[in-house]
């Protein structure tokens, strides 16, 4: 429709891609700029209680460079649970006072160990290795929201299946960070949450995943011999991408690394070679691989979708530390150290030269690529609690010709008109740009009247009168001014 209005549709890939980029930019801005009812999403996430251990041991394998420190003797409730990466670990009772304090859990190490780094306010001093037990407390102070969260709108506790904890939690009020600071709310208060505080960046100025962009040379992909009909990939052209995970969050995706799997000399499967992320005794910077099918030699199939190699279940039962082994449960990891890693045979239960297995992996959902919202509940829950989170979500980009916006059909005309405005402005056709700006503005007002107003969920009570009891109005009538 955009090409029809502009009366210009050259068979030039670069121009068509430019129009697609403009349409996606308009679509994304429209979808996320206002709290449209169709753009809101609700999910349940679990808040985890504090876990206290009294027999932990602090040690260091490289004390001269104390970036990441090792704590052993930690319960597998924490050390074998990747969700605790990014949580707080408080150390008390150490022989050296400088060892006490709060740390971030950078990496869980599996059998009773975690790697931690001290919070920025402590300047991460070297600590003294000791065999004397210390007390550690794991705290989920901040809950990281999903990758597609643009901005949180509300928090509630509504899961009807939870019967072991208090059934009614009352109102949960949003508190901005200024009011939180002025009220001096104690960070370690525990109980039933009554307030929540949003954070649009990592609290305390700590290292975040955005500090670790994948650079050229961080990923190399080659072909390695495979077993025919088991773990071999269909010959063709592919692109692979690297992103880092730090404290549980995935960062920006790097540039494509193209690879061709030939017919001659096969069968083959990909081998990944990456840099060592444990240098300088830093731990917890894990690696994440994505792929794109450019062209399958036998059938000519190809698409523009980026797929997540961690997003599909495998038949693996191997357990290992995230980033430290090839598979963890049903997920695929590559080592943190600088080592080559072949695609595991158990991935997709063996690719077996089937392009349909590769195509069956879901496309990567759009996300902020490193920018994550976090919330802090006050008081912090002292039991496992399902938290219902409502937020504006990021829509899926329109990549293939068959893609359609995740908004009602009535919104499509607005996207077209606003895109035409941008295109006419780009080509200095200002009268046409103004015409379609007016058309887009008119469409937006119509959409706002339908998709930004809702009938009140509760009754609106009128005043009491002697002898006539209570009366109710079922809803408020809303009027939008021009």
Give tens-digit pLDDT for 115-139: 888 765 455 555 666 667 888 898 9
pLDDT, position 270: 93
Q: Which helix (H) or strand (E) holds 418?
A: helix 412-426
Give the pLDDT score at 63: 44
Report pLDDT for 126: 56
CA distance 346 to 329: 11
If one compares 457 and 72, the residue with the highest pLDDT of the two is: 72
Q: What is the pLDDT of residues 311-364, one digit of tens each?
A: 765 554 455 566 666 666 567 778 888 778 888 888 888 899 999 999 999 888
Task: State yes or no: pLDDT of 21 exceeds 60.
Answer: yes
Distance CA 248, CA 147 (A): 11
Residue 457 has a pLDDT of 43
67-86 mean pLDDT: 78
Q: pTM value? A: 0.84
How far are the Cα atoms of 102, 294, 315, 354 from residue 348, in angstroms, in the given order?
41, 19, 7, 10
pLDDT above 90 for 65: no
Residues 230, 235, 239: CA angle, nearest 5 degrees = 105
Cα 57-60-66 angle, rounded to 5 deg: 125
Q: What percent of the chain has pLDDT over 70?
A: 81
pLDDT greater at residue 60 or residue 22 = 22
- Bridging pattern class, strands 236-246 and 285-296: antiparallel
* pLDDT at residue 324, as a whole number: 60
For residues 417 and 478, what is the distance between their CA atoms, to the nearest angstrom? 27
The pLDDT-based confidence of 467 (bands split at 50, 70, 90) is very low
pLDDT for residue 156 is more than 60: yes
- Which contiguous run of DSSP H or E holds residue 103? strand 101-108
Average pLDDT estimate for 435-462 = 77
Residue 241 reports pLDDT greater than 80: yes
Check whether 101 has a pLDDT greater than 50: yes
**What does the alpha-carbon distance between residue 415 and residue 398 come to, in Å, rounded to a whole number?**
12
Band the pLDDT of 303: cuts 50, 70, 90.
Answer: very high
- The DSSP code sequence of 373-417 is -EEEEESEESS-EEEEEEEEEPPPP--STT---SS-GGGHHHHHH
Task: Identify the band that residue 377 occupies on the pLDDT scale cut at 50, 70 and 90.
Answer: very high
State percent of the chain over pLDDT 90: 35
The pLDDT of 410-418, averaged and rounded, is 94
Query: Burial code of 382-402, b = ≥16 C-beta within 10 A, e = fewer?
Result: eeebebebebbbbbbbbeeee
Distance CA 392, CA 394 (A): 7
Query: 323 — alpha (psi -120 to 50), left (phi > 0) or beta?
Result: left
Cα dist. 451→36, 40, 393, 444, 480 in Å? 6, 11, 15, 10, 12
HSE-CB for 350 with a 13 A CA cutoff: 7
Distance CA 1, CA 19 (A): 11
pLDDT value at residue 247: 85
């Amino acid at each position: 429709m955009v090409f029809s209005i502009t009366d210009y549709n050259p068979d030039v890939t670069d121009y068509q891609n430019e129009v697609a980029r403009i349409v996606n930019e308009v679509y994304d801005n429209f979808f996320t700029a206002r709290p449209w009812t169709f753009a809101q999403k609700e999910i349940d996430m679990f808040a985890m209680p504090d876990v206290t251990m009294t027999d932990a041991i602090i040690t260091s394998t490289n004390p001269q460079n104390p970036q990441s420190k090792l704590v052993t003797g930690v319960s597998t409730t924490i050390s074998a649970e990747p969700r605790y990466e990014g949580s707080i670990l408080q150390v008390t009772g150490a022989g050296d006072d400088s060892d006490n304090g709060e740390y971030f859990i950078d990496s869980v190490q599996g059998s009773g160990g975690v790697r931690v780094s001290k919070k920025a306010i402590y300047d991460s001093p070297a600590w003294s290795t000791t065999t004397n037990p210390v007390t550690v407390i794991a705290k989920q102070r901040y809950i990281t929201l999903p990758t597609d969260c643009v901005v949180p709108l509300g928090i509630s506790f509504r899961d009807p299946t939870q019967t072991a904890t208090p059934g009614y939690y009352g109102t949960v009020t949003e508190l901005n960070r200024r009011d939180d600071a002025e009220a001096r709310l104690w960070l370690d208060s525990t109980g039933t949450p009554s307030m929540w505080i949003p954070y649009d960046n990592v609290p305390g100025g700590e290292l975040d995943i955005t500090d670790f962009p994948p650079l050229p040379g961080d990923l190399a992909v080659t072909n390695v011999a495979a077993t025919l009909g088991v773990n071999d990939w269909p010959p063709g052209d592919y692109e692979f991408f690297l992103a880092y995970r730090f404290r549980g969050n995935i960062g920006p995706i790097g540039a494509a690394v193209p690879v061709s799997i030939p017919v001659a000399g096969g069968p083959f499967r990909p081998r990944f070679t990456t840099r060592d992320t444990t240098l300088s005794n830093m731990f917890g910077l894990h690696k994440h691989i994505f792929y794109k099918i450019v062209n399958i030699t036998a059938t000519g199939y190809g698409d523009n979708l980026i797929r997540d190699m961690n997003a599909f279940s495998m038949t693996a039962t191997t357990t290992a530390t995230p980033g430290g082994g090839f598979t963890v449960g049903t997920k695929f990891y590559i080592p943190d150290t600088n080592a080559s890693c072949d695609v595991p045979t158990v991935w997709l239960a063996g690719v077996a030269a089937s392009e349909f297995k590769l195509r069956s992996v879901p496309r990567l959902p759009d996300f902020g690529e490193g920018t994550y919202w976090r919330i802090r509940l006050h008081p912090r829950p002292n039991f496992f609690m399902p938290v219902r989170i409502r937020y504006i979500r990021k829509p899926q980009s329109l990549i293939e010709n068959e893609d359609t916006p995740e908004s009602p059909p009535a919104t499509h005309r607005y996207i077209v008109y606003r895109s035409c405005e941008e295109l006419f402005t780009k080509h200095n056709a200002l009268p046409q740009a103004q015409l379609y700006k007016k058309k887009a503005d008119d469409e937006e007002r119509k959409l706002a009247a339908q998709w930004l107003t809702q009938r009140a969920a509760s009754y609106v009570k009128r005043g009491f009168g002697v002898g006539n009891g209570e009366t109710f109005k079922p809803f408020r009538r809303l009027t939008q001014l021009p």
